């Protein structure tokens, strides 16, 4: 079922993007688990380079709707990139990351927080007041050292890489992920 689930999610994401670009695709959308609340990230790459990534950190709508909304947003609304074009569609790879529920971390300082992180396993949400950022577990591939990972996470939130304060909140999650090239 895990591989079948991934295939279904990938096809739904690709169909959403394809339909927005005028190409007809009708994936299966009748699985009962698609109606359950779910949170996902859709990542688009081209020759291994990021082309868009948008997602939900917490389940707030049925998974089917979350996949469709995030696939569309990753292709056409990621502010880091211009909207995807029909000409790019054939060489754009889709990846779906299905998130587990968020687990708040308990720590006294940054050193203690870093010691709890599991490289390659944990996705991390950093929060301080209005500042918030996340990295999926896949980011550990580029930033395998906990201190560097955290510094980049703080920078992504709009803070200095060496920032730390007593009110910092961290949460972890894991993902089940599927890459189009590995499934279809």
Q: Which pLDDT value is given to residue 93? A: 97
Choice between 102 and 182, residue whose per-residue pLDDT is larger: 102
pLDDT exceeds 60 at position 7: yes
Q: Which pLDDT value is given to residue 3? A: 83
pLDDT exceeds 70 at position 1: no
pLDDT exceeds 90 at position 184: no
pLDDT exceeds 80 at position 30: yes
What would the CATH number be for the domain defined by 103-173? 3.30.1490.150
Q: What percent of the chain has pLDDT over 90?
A: 92
CATH 2.40.160.40 applies to domain 2-99: no
Taking the CA of residue 34 as centre, how many other CA atoms within 13 Å lie in the half-sphere pointing to its CB?
19
Q: What percent of the chain has pLDDT over 70?
A: 98
- List Cα–Cα distances, 83 to 15, 80, 97, 121, 156, in angstroms: 16, 10, 21, 31, 22
Residue 97, Ramachandran bin (φ over 0: left; ψ between -120 and 50: alpha; else beta)? beta
pTM of the model: 0.90
Q: What is the pLDDT of residues 63-76, one digit of tens each?
A: 999 999 999 999 99
**Structure-token pair, residue 134:** 């996340």
Q: What is the pLDDT of residues 110-130, one digit of tens each?
A: 999 999 999 999 999 999 999
All structural domains of the chain with their residue ranges? 2-99, 103-173
Give me the helices (H) in 77-123, please.
86-89, 110-116
pLDDT exceeds 90 at position 183: no
2-99 shares its CATH topology with 103-173: no
Mean pLDDT of the region 117-146: 96
């Amino acid at each position: 079922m895990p591989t079948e689930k991934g295939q279904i999610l990938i096809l739904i994401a690709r169909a959403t993007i394809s339909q927005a670009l005028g190409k007809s695709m009708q994936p299966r959308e009748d699985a009962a688990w698609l109606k359950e609340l779910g949170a996902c990230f859709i990542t688009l790459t081209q020759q291994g380079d990021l082309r868009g990534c948008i997602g939900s950190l917490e389940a707030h709508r049925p998974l089917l709707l979350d996949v469709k909304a995030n696939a569309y947003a990753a292709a056409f609304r990621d502010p880091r990139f211009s909207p995807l074009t029909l000409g790019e569609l054939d060489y754009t790879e889709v990846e779906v990351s299905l998130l587990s529920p968020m687990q708040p971390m308990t720590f006294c300082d940054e050193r203690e927080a870093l010691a709890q992180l599991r490289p390659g396993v944990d996705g991390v949400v950093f929060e301080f007041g209005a500042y918030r950022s996340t990295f999926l577990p896949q980011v550990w591939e580029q930033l395998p050292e906990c201190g560097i990972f955290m510094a980049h996470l703080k920078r992504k939130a709009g803070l200095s890489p060496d920032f730390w304060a007593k009110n910092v909140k961290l949460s972890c999650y894991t993902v089940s992920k599927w890459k189009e090239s590995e499934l279809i």
